Structure 1
Amino acid sequence: MKVVDGQRGAYRPAVTVPPPLRRGPLLVTAAFAALGAALIPAAAVPGIWRIWQLYAMLFGAVAAFELVAVFAVLGWPTRKTARSGAVAAAAGLGLWVVSRPLGLLARFDPWQPADTVVGFTDYVAAGLQVVALFGFLVVARRRAHPRPSAPRRVFAWIVLFPVLLLVLATGAAGTVAAADGLASPRPSTLLEGGTVEYCRPDGVPLAMDLARPRASGRPAPVALYLHGGGFVFGNRKPTGPGALLTGSRPGPVRDALVARGFVVASIDYRLAPAAPWPSALTDARCAVRFLKANAAALGIDPARIAAWGTGTGGTLASLLGVAREADDASTVRAVAAVGAPAKFTGTSLPERAAVFLARFPASPLSYPAAGAPPFLIADGGPGSAEFADRLRTAGVPVTATPDVAAFLAETVS
């Protein structure tokens, strides 16, 4: 027995504190994967909050838990904090599985606000969670190496550095894409417009930007703009990540149309694979019906609505012209398709995505040409020449002029 200050006390063995883990490449990669996976849903929380606060609080709580775990494992890397990181990554991955593949969050798809620029942003978050979970589990099971050899450290960094760069790039890109809804579009000096909700499919609000001309005293014609991006990328905004991904610059044509007295309506539509085909076409039709139903309030002429699009947005515009519905509520007066594929050959990344996700029903060549409105087909994409010939054979006026504003002013005004 040991006597302390004249008293006997029980023997107390020394407590051994496990040495901290080194911040090696696997731990760092897992931590940054978890960081990106947490920031993506966190960036979408404001958009989810505008739809339903309960889902927003759930996403925010899971993201906050994972962020705390990341800072803990980076600040004090032990097997215990690594296990906490694995639990946080598993929780984030479980939230994605419950809400997307299983669809158990039934009121609406809470990942849609994150998928408004890139249709697979939520899949990026899920992939990062898998990387984080695997990395943290491996780190938590390994024995601590206080002083591993220099060649071993160098080799580990060489092997995992490309993975770390990929994790950083995808995490940053996913966060920027998910947060794009927080930024307001940059208006032109010619315009006096606003943003309205034109449709709410499956509980998810879709936005429409309206660029208005100066008051003229009579209902204005409308040009409905549909962005490109292979049904996978892009949004309604003329600048920002969506415009960068699609490579389109609709601003000059939009301003020219407004100067000619048009109201230009630019819409977001649901992107694949988050929303499979024909969601994009359904949304475009809903936009036309919205404009016609609210023509008096918007000061527009419901009989003078044209569709204009670039890339696969032009394909959507073409489908509005040829894939008509029986109720005639979503028909348009004219179509301007610029650089739009009429069939998908899979020669570029957006086209390959469109082939995989949309297949032949997305091709205007799959529908009869008779009765279609006047068409502008310029800078033709794959199959556009064949499509133009079919339209002409059916007696539909077709022009190849690249001047969209002049064509719509002639056919619609």
Structure 2
Amino acid sequence: MKVVDGQRSAYRPSTTGPPPLRRGPVLVIAAFAALGGALIPAAAVSALWRVWQFYAMLFGLFAAVELVAVVVVLGWPTRKAARNTALVALAVLALWVASRPLGLLARLDPWQPADTVVGFTDYAAAALQVIAFFGFLVVARRRAHPWPSTFRRVSAWVVLFPVLLLVLATGAAGTVAAGDNLTGKTASTLLDGGTLEYCRPDGIPLAMDITRPRPDTRAAPVVLFLHGGGFVLGNRKPAGPGALLAGSRLVPLRDALTARGFAVASIDYRLAPAARWPAPLEDAKCAVRFLKGNAAALNLDPARVTAVGTGTGGTLAALLGMTGELKAVAALDAPAEFDFAGQDPLTRASILLALGRDPATLRAASPLTYPGTGASPFLIEGGRKSAELADHLRAAGVPVTTSGDVAGFLASA
């Protein structure tokens, strides 16, 4: 205390910087949205590094800067920190816009490694960046006001808490999906019978896992396994988020088939909306060509290549079988025709994401569109309009069975 003109004046500490803001729900939501938006591409950096090192370093740099900005804005929440973090979120969003909607990086798609389990993982990251950008702008432009009442603070948290939960769930799920390749084998062009790179459309490496029968002494017949997931979800792996989302039946089918002397090749294919139709069908055809073209090196019988698919993977298998190039096809719970009539909202959404509304595209993706003459023998078990497909094939003279014994059917074929 000091005396000035005979009066005491209270000591006031000097303010050398802008006063901190409250860590209210808007700031917290924006911070976690930025955190999720940074972690998703960061989780894909390892897979991206194996293909495009420059983009891997660029993604890693953007993610590191945004993570630091989030730590700063939460540790010392000022308007300047909020504005700076908003600019960082905008920069990451601009990178996504340049590569996806504008297609300026079309030759090398840096977001593809993040979309190997869920085809719209990068869209989720972009949505989080949008939330972060506008959230931080609101915080930075908010006028100073007295400390709000307890009722006002609690009400704000109650109203915005569901949004916070959605942001947290999206960021966590996107990070898990984008990082799925961290625990998998590295795809290799070596024909070693483990994990192989079977195709690279538009610079995107696609992986295939091959499981061989024991003992591996002769050229084995091979089954191409195509996972389901509505052309939007899933991957080749027997466990993990991809298998969970696609409802994979790979493990029991693989075990039953290898017990009968088959080799099983399970593949990743490009997912929507990152890759639209006919990308998954082109990838499946490329896998068939790879198996036949490298049969000697892989100790496979090129004359006995078959396909099994579940869900929309079964649709792909059916489309392959329509050409007659396979020894046999098993389509399990596979839709034979795509339309919107009577579909549940989730199925309608997946059709829109993967195929759109164009009637020509919907027909092209439907096995019922094609004449069955010369098609491979079919096993059909469940799926939308599967009975119509069975009748369609039988009318064309194609052997069709509805038995559930996939391994027995393929062995007899």
Equivalent residue number for residue 162 of structure 2: 162
Q: Post-superposition shift, 1:105?
A: 2.0
Distance 2:54 2:297 in 1: 33
Q: 1:351 aligns with which of 339, 344, 347?
A: 347
Q: Post-superposition shift, 1:156?
A: 1.0
Distance 2:276 2:151 in 1: 49
Q: 2:370 aligns with which of 357, 367, 372?
A: 367
DSSP-derived class of the 2:44 partner: helix
One-letter identity of the residue aligned with 1:374: P
DSSP-derived class of the 1:304 partner: strand
Q: Percent sequence identity over matched residues?
A: 71
Equivalent residue number for residue 71 of structure 1: 71
Deviations 1:178-215 (A, max 9, x none): 00111227xxxxxx951000000000100000000124
- Does the C-alpha gap of structure 1 residues 216 and 109 become closer, same or farther in structure 2, counting only changes over 3 Å? closer
1:22/1:146 contact within 8 Å kept: no
Q: Post-superposition shift, 1:165?
A: 0.5
TM-score by length of 2: 0.90
One-letter identity of the residue aligned with 2:241: P
1:36/1:172 contact within 8 Å kept: yes
1:21/1:145 contact within 8 Å kept: no
1:231/1:272 contact within 8 Å kept: yes
Q: Post-superposition shift, 1:252?
A: 1.1
Q: 1:394 aligns with which of 388, 393, 396?
A: 396
Q: Post-superposition shift, 1:351?
A: 3.1
Distance 1:374 1:349 in 2: 33
Distance 2:345 2:279 in 1: 20
Deviations 1:350-404 (A, max 9, x none): 63244323222111011111000100001x1111100000100100000001111
Distance 1:242 1:95 in 2: 26
Equivalent residue number for residue 199 of structure 1: 199
Distance 1:399 1:350 in 2: 30
Q: Post-superposition shift, 1:16?
A: 5.4
284-293 or 147-156, which deviates more = 147-156
Equivalent residue number for residue 115 of structure 1: 115
Equivalent residue number for residue 305 of structure 1: 305
One-letter identity of the residue aligned with 2:88: A
Equivalent residue number for residue 336 of structure 2: 342
Q: What's the RMSD between the two structures over aligned residues?
A: 1.6
2:193/2:298 contact within 8 Å kept: no
TM-score by length of 1: 0.90
Deviations 1:262-295 (A, max 9, x none): 1100000000000000000000000000001101
Distance 2:146 2:286 in 1: 62
2:33/2:131 contact within 8 Å kept: yes
Equivalent residue number for residue 6 of structure 1: none
Equivalent residue number for residue 358 of structure 2: none
1:20/1:144 contact within 8 Å kept: no
What residue ranges of structure 1 are gaps of 5+ in the alignment?
1-13, 186-191
DSSP-derived class of the 2:17 partner: coil
Distance 1:143 1:42 in 2: 35
Equivalent residue number for residue 3 of structure 1: none
Equivalent residue number for residue 405 of structure 1: 407
Q: Is the aligned partner of 1:24 residue 2:27?
A: no
Distance 1:105 1:289 in 2: 28
Q: Post-superposition shift, 1:126?
A: 0.4
Equivalent residue number for residue 100 of structure 2: 100
- Does the C-alpha gap of structure 1 residues 349 and 335 become closer, same or farther in structure 2, counting only changes over 3 Å? farther
Distance 1:149 1:263 in 2: 68
- Does the C-alpha gap of structure 1 residues 193 and 350 become closer, same or farther in structure 2, counting only changes over 3 Å? farther
1:269/1:283 contact within 8 Å kept: yes
Give the length in aligned residue pairs. Answer: 386
DSSP-derived class of the 1:269 partner: coil
What residue ranges of structure 2 are gaps of 5+ in the alignment?
1-13, 186-191, 356-361
One-letter identity of the residue aligned with 1:342: A
Deviations 1:67-105 (A, max 9, x none): 001010011111011011101100110110011111212
